[in-house]
A and B are shown apart, each in its own frame.
Chain A
């Protein structure tokens, strides 16, 4: 049995613990350990990606306890895809942070690695309770990262962010234990089997648990009406941290996709799915609309980007909610695109804000920029990608989602909302860009100006290149996302792979008399 699947969790965890012990070590050493761990994880993510090319998911049973009784890590196409996305984002963000930003907070590197560990664990885990645990790991690391520097705005934003998410976590626990109480298991593959055996009078409890779970994941994904914690938290977080946060809302989307496609689908179990699916589409479209309107009204570039994060979640969920494997495939492509594009936009925000001295990233005229041309081009690239101007990955992603819509009236609605919000996003970005780059005051500037460094440009270029690769290799990537959504919509291979010991008769359930 290969231990490859444990690497993305174990390596960041050990390296983070080591960094906590060495927190007085010179910054060069911390950077080396942090970079080393992240590169190792990225290589492991690539290896897992290569290993899961076949349609049978990889299953890692911790301590070789037979599932469904032990803990399992599972890597199917979707998990491998998300791991690779996390790896490319984490590498670029860390490259950006080590240009000097990380020296400000003593605990940046360990918190960063704990966050990466939480993300990887959430993508790999095969049972609901460990999904909860990894959510908590990534959240507590994110609170620490968002606080860096401890100024009042950050404290307030983080307090609200933490309160909302801790309350949501309690609800998550209630939903998970309700599932356990009815079905006697927490392994997602086993749950998928047990749902079919639930007695009719218990179905109400399962539905309640399903809806509670959906609500919790909606908080994590920042879906309307549960997104109000996001704009303040993301726009006040330091830039590299905010760029890493670009994938945190996607963890919520991942969990929605995983649970709805695996646990609550197919046959007579569809009853629960029918309960959740009518909610997804209106909520997705509202999230998209309100996120875009928020971006239009933003007073700072950072909060504009934060609202665009919300809008991107809305677009992804539109693809997911439309059902069908085509919509799901399009949503996955859009997920990769939007994570990278939002991260680029957060980093450009930081560079622009720093180059304007005291004016920062507020949308009013400031001093002329010293590196106006490269900064302007970078902003143009990021804005065009997010808004979806033709050759960009955003254009391809939105086109795929539009093409995947199938049914009568909703086509009109979806096309209208997506196209209108694209135009409005373009307006918001052009407004921000023309104010920040073109309307300048007297060259007398106040406040310290920290011009972008070469390494920071490199990090930005890496993320931009990833976004371009999404366009250049659109055909193979689309084939992969198609295979992913095919695997998700026919979850029997996943279930069989996880429950192999049960199938082979190696384990038997407890006798019924005990319950």
Chain B
């Protein structure tokens, strides 16, 4: 399970970085959202993966899951969700105001290849 989790987080992070580096706002927002998802999964797995164990320590409990990362991940999810919503609203507003969904607010001038002539 550890291996699947680690590889999964790695793939999600790689996709997030790729999307973040795109020039359009929508892939960028998607990338930010995926990056925070990867971060959340990472926090969760830092409490050790322990199936079937309650996050409560009572007298005589032999096996329990660490409750702290679960609380942390809840906070992180809320903050990440709020931030994604904010950037999304910003991107939509910018699209309406500039007519372009490029992150710079205008369409980049395509580079002219030398063989095409003037």
Partners in one complex: yes
- What 6 A-B pairs come out closest when comparing CB atoms? A181-B46, A177-B43, A177-B46, A170-B39, A173-B39, A170-B35
Q: Which residues of B contact A136 (CB under 8 A)?
A: 79, 83
Judge whether A159 and B87 touch: CB under 8 Å: yes
| Interface core residue of A160, A170, A181 (most chain B CB under 10 Å) | A170
Q: Which residues of A contact B75 (CB under 8 A)?
A: 129, 133
Closest to A130 in B: B75
> In whole Å, how far is B31's beta carbon from the nearest beta carbon of chain A?
8
| A–B pairs, 17, beta carbons within 8 Å | A140-B86, A155-B93, A155-B98, A155-B105, A156-B103, A156-B104, A163-B20, A166-B87, A170-B36, A171-B39, A177-B72, A180-B46, A180-B69, A180-B72, A510-B57, A514-B57, A514-B63
Interface residues in A163-187 (C-beta closer than 8 Å to B): 163, 166-167, 169-171, 173-174, 176-178, 180-181, 186
The proximity string for A residues 134-148 relative to B, scoring 1 for CB distances below 8 Å and 0 otherwise, is 001000100100010
Judge whether A177 and B103 touch: CB under 8 Å: no
Judge whether B83 and A169 touch: CB under 8 Å: yes
Using C-beta atoms within 8 Å of the partner chain, give the interface range for chain A.
Answer: 20 to 34
Judge whether B90 and A158 touch: CB under 8 Å: yes
B103 contact from A160, A169, A186, Cβ within 8 A: A160
Closest to B43 in A: A177
Interface SS of A by simple majority? helix
Judge whether A155 and B66 touch: CB under 8 Å: no
Judge whether B87 and A167 touch: CB under 8 Å: no
Closest to B97 in A: A152
| Interface core residue of A156, A158, A171, A176 (most chain B CB under 10 Å) | A156
Judge whether B103 and A140 touch: CB under 8 Å: no
> In whole Å, how far is B102's beta carbon from the nearest beta carbon of chain A?
10
Interface residues in chain B, defined as those with a beta carbon under 8 Å from any beta carbon in chain A? 20, 25, 28, 32, 35-36, 38-40, 42-43, 46-48, 57, 61-64, 66, 68-69, 72, 75-76, 79-80, 82-83, 86-87, 90-91, 93-94, 97-98, 103-105
Judge whether A155 and B90 touch: CB under 8 Å: yes
Whether, in the assembled complex, A150 has its beta carbon less than 8 Å from a beta carbon of chain B, the answer is yes
Q: Which residues of A contact B90 (CB under 8 A)?
A: 143, 147, 155, 158-159, 162
Whether, in the assembled complex, A54 has its beta carbon less than 8 Å from a beta carbon of chain B, the answer is no
Q: Which residues of A contact B57 (CB under 8 A)?
A: 510, 514
Q: Which residues of A contact B48 (CB under 8 A)?
A: 181, 515
> In whole Å, how far is A155's beta carbon from the nearest beta carbon of chain B?
5
The proximity string for A residues 172-213 relative to B, scoring 1 for CB distances below 8 Å and 0 otherwise, is 011011101100001000000000000000000000000000
A159 contact from B42, B61, B82, B103, Cβ within 8 A: B103
Whether, in the assembled complex, A513 has its beta carbon less than 8 Å from a beta carbon of chain B, the answer is yes
> In whole Å, how far is B20's beta carbon from the nearest beta carbon of chain A?
6
> In whole Å, how far is B48's beta carbon from the nearest beta carbon of chain A?
7
Bound-state Cα–Cα, A156 to B94, Å: 7
Bound-state Cα–Cα, A136 to B78, Å: 11
B82 contact from A140, A147, A155, A177, Cβ within 8 A: A140
Q: Provided the pairs A143-B86, A174-B39 are in contact, do residues A159 and B79 lie with their beta carbons within 8 angstroms? A: no
Bound-state Cα–Cα, A251 to B46, Å: 27
Q: Which residues of B contact A173 (CB under 8 A)?
A: 36, 39-40, 42-43, 76
Bound-state Cα–Cα, A158 to B39, Å: 23
Bound-state Cα–Cα, A173 to B62, Å: 30
> In whole Å, how far is A151's beta carbon from the nearest beta carbon of chain B?
8
Bound-state Cα–Cα, A462 to B111, Å: 52
Q: Which residues of B contact A178 (CB under 8 A)?
A: 42, 46
Q: Which residues of A contact B97 (CB under 8 A)?
A: 150, 152, 155
Judge whether B87 and A156 touch: CB under 8 Å: no
Bound-state Cα–Cα, A515 to B32, Å: 32
Q: Which residues of A contact B105 (CB under 8 A)?
A: 152, 155-156
Q: Which residues of B contact A176 (CB under 8 A)?
A: 43, 72
Interface residues in A481-515 (C-beta closer than 8 Å to B): 510, 513-515
Closest to B104 in A: A156
Q: Which residues of A contact B32 (CB under 8 A)?
A: 163, 166-167, 170
Judge whether B94 and A513 touch: CB under 8 Å: no
Bound-state Cα–Cα, A372 to B117, Å: 54
Judge whether B82 and A162 touch: CB under 8 Å: no
Judge whether A159 and B25 touch: CB under 8 Å: yes
Q: A129-B72, A147-B90, A173-B43 are in contact. List 9 more A-B contacts (CB 8 A).
A: A150-B93, A155-B98, A158-B90, A159-B103, A163-B32, A163-B103, A169-B83, A173-B40, A514-B57
The proximity string for A residues 425-450 relative to B, scoring 1 for CB distances below 8 Å and 0 otherwise, is 00000000000000000000000000
Closest to B53 in A: A514
> In whole Å, how far is A154's beta carbon from the nearest beta carbon of chain B?
10
